[in-house]
Amino acid sequence: MLRTITPRNARVKRFMQNREAKVEENVKSALFIRGSSTSQVVSDALADLYMLKKPNGVNFSKKNSIHPFEDHSTLDFFSQKNDASLCIVATHSKKRPHTLTFARMFEHQLMDMMEVHLENCKPMRDFKTPKSAIGMRPCFQFNGDMWDQHPQYKMFKSMLLDFYRGKTVDRVALAGLEYIISVSHGPLTAEGKPGKVYLRTYTIQLKKSGVKLPRIELEEMGPSMDMTFGRAEEAKPETWKEAMKVPRELKPKKKKNVSTDEMNNVVGRVHLGRQDFDKIQTRKMKGLKKRPAADEADSADKKQRVDDSNDDE
């Protein structure tokens, strides 16, 4: 366990406050960890993934004997110490060659994790092309029909988006869209298990097109990896539920009396206030005309008086 620190000055206090739970969270930072034995393939892949995550990543240069699927207490410890909620562990063994384990934490406790086995990797340095600047926000694309259907594909998609989404912002510089992470999956295997997944990274070039929108050309910048899925551990339902909660402040405000129908038309409901039937303009008819009550009483009175005078005479 880490010792608990009581802040003794304002700087430490601010630092501690920054680590506390917040409505709008910090960018998730990631740990890049080498297992007890690694191959050149996974080391290169790990280094490249770290380059893409910079500056919100911590690269562990020493080897650590970590087997996340057997015991994840070390990962939890690292997560708490570095205030990081994502991590990748690179390992290589005869049984599971060239393996990256993607793991996610909630409250510094392991939430979910999955293994991918790498094949046909080409690191960034083997592409002699211009690279994107460090810390740029990537675009994503997921090609294939299984990304929302198969649990493992779903998890990988969620994991990758979580790793590289960066800070949630409401505006982005159009000139800053420098690269795209493209993930595609091939057909399922004969047994219906996940097949190969292709991760490619391209720089985006905006070309003239004669119209307002630019013509896009891509150039591969690396890394390029083909992978298959290994073991996976899904999040516990209660942890997942807790993690997916959206704070009240960030929920979109409900617009009253405005809705959309099935045809995507915006339908508004307007309240007109209470109607006063006496003042409403209807068809005019002499019979329906209402005489003021006071007027009526007045005339009756007059009549009476006339009769009285007649009696006197």
Partner 1 sequence: MDVSAILEAHKSKFKPVSVEGKVIPVEFDLGLLAAYDQNPLDEAELRKGKDAYLHDLARDNTQLLLNQVFQLPTVSDDAGVLAMLPAPTTPLPREKPLPKPKPETRWEKFAKAKGIVKRKKERMVFDEESGDYKPRWGYGGANDDGTKDWLIEVPSSADPMEDQYAARREAKKERVDKNKKRQQRNMEEAAVATKLDARAVKRGDRPNMDNVRAMKRREIENQILVSKAATASAGRFDKKMDGDLKPKGIRRQFAPTITDSGKEKSGNMDILNRIVGKGGEDLVNVRKAIKRTK
Q: Which of residues 253-312 bind partner 1 (CB under 8 A)?
A: none
CA angle 45, 48, 50 (to 5 degrees): 110
Q: Does position 238 bind partner 1 by CB under 8 A? A: no
Is position 97 an interface residue for partner 1 (rule: CB under 8 A)?
no
Query: Rounded CA gap, 233 and 8, in Å?
Result: 41
Q: Is 200 in the site for partner 1 (CB under 8 A)?
A: yes
The interface region with partner 1, picked from 40-48, 216-224, 255-263, 283-291 by CB under 8 A, is: 216-224
Among 7, 130, 135, 187, binds partner 1 (CB under 8 A): 187
Q: Using CB under 8 A, pick the residue from 32, 182, 223, 225 that binds partner 1.
A: 182
98 touches partner 1 (CB under 8 A)? no
Q: Is 17 in the site for partner 1 (CB under 8 A)?
A: no
> Crossing angle of helices 151-164/40-53, nearest 10°?
50
User: Using the rule CB under 8 A, which residue among 43, 63, 67, 162 binds partner 1?
Assistant: 162
Q: Based on the shown chain and the rule CB under 8 A, indicate whether residue 143 belongs to the binding site for partner 1.
A: yes
**Which structure tokens are listed for 12?**
């430490």
Q: Is 266 helix (H, G, I), strand (E, B) or coil?
A: strand
158 binds partner 1 (CB under 8 A): yes
Which of 89-97, 140-148, 281-289, 293-301 is the region at the interface with partner 1 (rule: CB under 8 A)? Answer: 140-148
Nearest Cα neighbor of 110 from 240, 2, 215, 206 is 240
Q: How far apart are CA 156 and CA 297, in angstroms?
A: 87
Binding-site size, partner 1 (CB under 8 A)? 72
Closest CB to partner 1 among 58 and 243? 243
76 lies in the binding site for partner 1 (CB under 8 A): no
Q: Is 184 in the site for partner 1 (CB under 8 A)?
A: yes
Least distance (Å) from partner 1 to the CB of residue 183? 10
- Regarding 161 and contact with partner 1 (CB under 8 A), the answer is yes
Segment lying near partner 1 (by CB under 8 A), choices 1-9, 37-45, 124-132, 209-217: 209-217
Measured between alpha carbons, how far is residue 142 from residues 81, 119, 191, 293 in Å?
A: 33, 19, 23, 78
Q: How far is the CB of 85 from partner 1 (least distance, A)?
A: 4
129 binds partner 1 (CB under 8 A): no
Residue carrying the six token digits 């493209």: 182
Structure tokens at 97: 């060659």
Looking at beta carbons only, is 43 or 139 nearer to partner 1?
139
What letter does residue 64 receive in the DSSP assignment? Answer: -
* Alpha carbon distance 29, 165 (integer Å): 11
Give 4's contacts (C-beta < 8 A, 6+ positions apart): none
Pairing of the two strands 179-185 and 197-207: antiparallel
Q: Of the listed pieces 1-9, 56-64, 131-139, 279-287, which binds partner 1 according to CB under 8 A?
A: 131-139
| Under rule CB under 8 A, residue 235 binds partner 1 | yes
Q: What's CA 120's distance to the chain center, in Å?
A: 30
Residue at token pair 């393939």: 41
To the nearest whole angstrom, how small is the minimum distance from the Cβ of residue 82 to partner 1?
12
Identify which of residues 90 and 235 has a Cβ nearer to partner 1 in the complex: 235
Phi-psi region of 110 (alpha: psi -120 to 50; beta: other; left: phi over 0): beta
